């Protein structure tokens, strides 16, 4: 039964091998979806090209439906899936910081690695920035430790926290994604490269 | 009204399929309440033998001092006993209610009772309900008292034993206990269980902050 790692079908070492293989696949699809260029990634913040948004939501919905149906049919134990602890405030602040970096640099950590693999110079600078930032965070951590550990809410998940059935939540996320896709198409027509009269870059 | 599916783009077809699956999801069985219980009795009985599910009082003491938080400590004794004294950071659940409290399945659970009995029985109950990381305190509260709170050493103990005792004595003071040296002629085996319970003043129940660390399987992104 899945998740295989939790049920000790393989150990941490073999897990790394699988992680490597899945990582290669993940990177390949990101690159093929066009996530390897900062231009495309940054364009979504100006509603010119929402490919990133659409790919991400497709991935979220696919994974969600997959996990949900696999566990409903008993192929998977959803309760064993690791959930990262929630620290509400620090995570909001961290998310905003990441977003700012995303707009400025044109990459998120994962996509910067993808861009490195095709030799984008800006991506190498970006990765350098990641290491520098990580180092600085480590150095100032004692000063912000109190904040970094505040508003700890434990391992919470939405269906339990809000006490709504899993299925309803799944349906709501599907509706949200479909609405998002429709909205994204609309925004691309209105603001994007694809709008009527604009030069088709493809 | 007639809908011509062949005119739909691939995106529209996929969107329709997603919507359909999402709608079906509402009526599916809640996966967190799925009733498939597969108990590998062989695996369980092997676990009983190899002691890998035991936590010694010393180990637990170190976890508490290091403020590790990747586990939940559960006191299975009665409410009265719990109020008298409990290991810092523990929560009181009587065995009959253990399945009602909906303990998290992705977290390490450490059980203890007065001795080994209730803890090991409850361990089995949890195991059959697909709780993966369940451990119990070896010797229960009795051993916690005798090794952590009131460690003893004989007066004529070897240097090695004394060194070990000194470490335990430090740990004992941390938890508000009192280490003792037994007089030579005294009844060495006797450990007074009637000692007044220590006032838990030193370490307040572990504050729910701090990243968990250490032995747990590394995962996440």
Does B48 map to a domain? yes
Domain boundary among the residues B83, B115, B144 is at: B144
Kindly state whether residues B96 and B60 are assigned to the same domain.
yes
B217, A1: Cβ pair inside 8 Å? Answer: no
Mutate which: A81, A144, A167, A188, vs B, most B CBs within 10 A: A167
Kindly state whether residues B73 and B97 are assigned to the same domain.
yes
Kindly state whether residues B140 and B47 are assigned to the same domain.
yes
Kindly state whether residues B94 and B139 are assigned to the same domain.
yes
Distance from CA of B119 to the nearest CA of A (A): 22
* Overall number of domains in chain B: 2
A166, B220: Cβ pair inside 8 Å? Answer: no
Quote ipTM for the complex.
0.70
Kindly state whether residues B87 and B131 are assigned to the same domain.
yes
Q: Which residues contact A166 (CB under 8 A, 6 or more apart)?
A: A68, A159, B25, B30, B31, B32
Q: Which residues contact B195 (CB under 8 A, 6 or more apart)?
A: B145, B149, B150, B178
Residue of chain B nearest A15, judged by CA positions: B219
Q: Which residue has the tokens 């004394």?
A: B162
Kindly state whether residues B101 and B174 are assigned to the same domain.
no
Region A99-105 average pLDDT: 90
Kindly state whether residues B117 and B173 are assigned to the same domain.
no
Q: How far is CA A90 from CA A33, A94, A149, A155, in A?
A: 31, 6, 8, 15
Helices A166-191 & B10-27 angle (0-180, nearest 10): 160
For residue B122, give the CATH number of its domain: 3.40.250.10
Kindly state whether residues B155 and B111 are assigned to the same domain.
no
Distance from CA of A123 to the nearest CA of B (A): 21
pLDDT tens per residue across span B175-207: 888 777 776 544 444 444 444 555 544 444 444
Among candidates B23, B32, B217 on the partner chain, residue whose Cβ is nearest the Cβ of A166: B32
pTM: 0.59
Chain A residues whose C-beta is within 8 A of a chain B C-beta are: 1, 5-7, 12, 61, 65, 68-69, 71-72, 74, 76-85, 149-150, 152, 154-155, 159-160, 165-168, 170-171, 173-175, 177-178, 181
Kindly state whether residues B166 and B93 are assigned to the same domain.
no
Kindly state whether residues B155 and B97 are assigned to the same domain.
no
Chain B residues whose C-beta is within 8 A of a chain A C-beta are: 11, 15, 18-19, 21-23, 25-32, 34, 36, 38, 104-107, 130, 132, 208-212, 217-221
| CB contacts, 8 Å: A180 with chain B | none
Residues B56, A105: Cα–Cα separation, whole Å: 51
Question: Which range of residues forms the domain containing residue B176?
Answer: 150-182
B135-166 residues labelled b (16+ CB within 10 A) or e (exposed): bbbbbbbbbbbbbbbbbbbeeeeeeeeeeebe
pLDDT tens per residue across span A121-177: 999 999 999 999 999 999 999 998 888 888 888 888 888 788 888 889 999 999 999
Domain boundary among the residues B95, B116, B144 is at: B144
Does B72 map to a domain? yes
pLDDT tens per residue across span B129-160: 778 788 888 888 888 888 888 888 777 778 88
A11: helix, strand or coil:
coil
Does B199 map to a domain? no
Query: Contact A54/A194 with Cβ under 8 angstroms?
Result: no
């Amino acid at each position: 039964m899945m998740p295989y790692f939790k049920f000790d079908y393989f150990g941490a070492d073999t897990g790394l091998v699988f992680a490597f293989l899945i990582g290669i696949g993940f990177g390949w699809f990101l690159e093929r979806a066009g996530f390897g260029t900062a231009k495309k990634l940054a364009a979504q913040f100006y509603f010119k090209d929402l490919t990133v948004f659409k790919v991400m939501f497709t991935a979220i919905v696919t994974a969600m439906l997959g996990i949900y149906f696999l566990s409903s049919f008993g192929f998977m134990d959803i309760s064993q899936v690791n959930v990262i602890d929630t620290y509400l405030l620090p995570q909001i602040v961290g998310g905003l910081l990441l977003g700012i970096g995303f707009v400025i640099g044109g990459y998120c950590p994962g996509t910067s690695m993808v861009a490195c693999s095709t030799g984008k110079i800006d991506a190498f600078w970006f990765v350098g920035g990641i290491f520098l930032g990580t180092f600085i965070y480590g150095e100032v951590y004692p000063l912000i430790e109190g904040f970094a550990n505040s508003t700890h809410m434990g391992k919470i998940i939405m269906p339990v926290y809000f006490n709504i059935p899993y299925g309803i939540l799944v349906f709501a996320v599907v509706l949200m994604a479909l609405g998002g896709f429709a909205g994204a198409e609309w925004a691309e027509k209105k603001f994007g490269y694809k709008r009527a009269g604009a030069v088709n870059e493809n | 009204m007639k809908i011509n599916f062949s005119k739909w783009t691939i995106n529209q077809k996929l969107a329709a399929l997603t919507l359909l699956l999402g709608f079906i999801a509402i009526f599916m069985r809640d996966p967190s309440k799925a009733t498939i219980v597969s108990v590998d009795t062989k695996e369980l009985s092997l676990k009983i033998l190899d002691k890998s599910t035991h936590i010694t009082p010393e180990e637990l003491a170190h976890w508490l001092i290091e403020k590790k938080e990747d586990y939940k400590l559960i006191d299975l004794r009665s409410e009265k006993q719990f109020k008298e004294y409990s290991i810092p950071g523990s929560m009181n659940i009587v065995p009959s209610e253990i399945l009602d409290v909906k303990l998290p399945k992705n977290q390490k659970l450490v059980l203890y009772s007065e001795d080994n009995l209730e803890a090991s029985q409850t361990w089995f109950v949890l195991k059959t309900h697909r709780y993966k990381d369940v451990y119990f305190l070896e010797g229960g509260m009795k051993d916690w008292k005798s090794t952590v709170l009131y460690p003893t050493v004989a007066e004529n103990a070897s240097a090695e034993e004394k060194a070990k005792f000194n470490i335990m004595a430090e740990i004992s003071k941390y938890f508000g206990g009192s280490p003792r040296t037994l007089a030579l002629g005294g009844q060495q085996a006797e450990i007074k269980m009637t000692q007044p319970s220590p006032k838990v003043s030193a370490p307040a129940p572990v504050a729910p902050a701090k990243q968990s660390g250490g032995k747990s399987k590394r995962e996440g992104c």
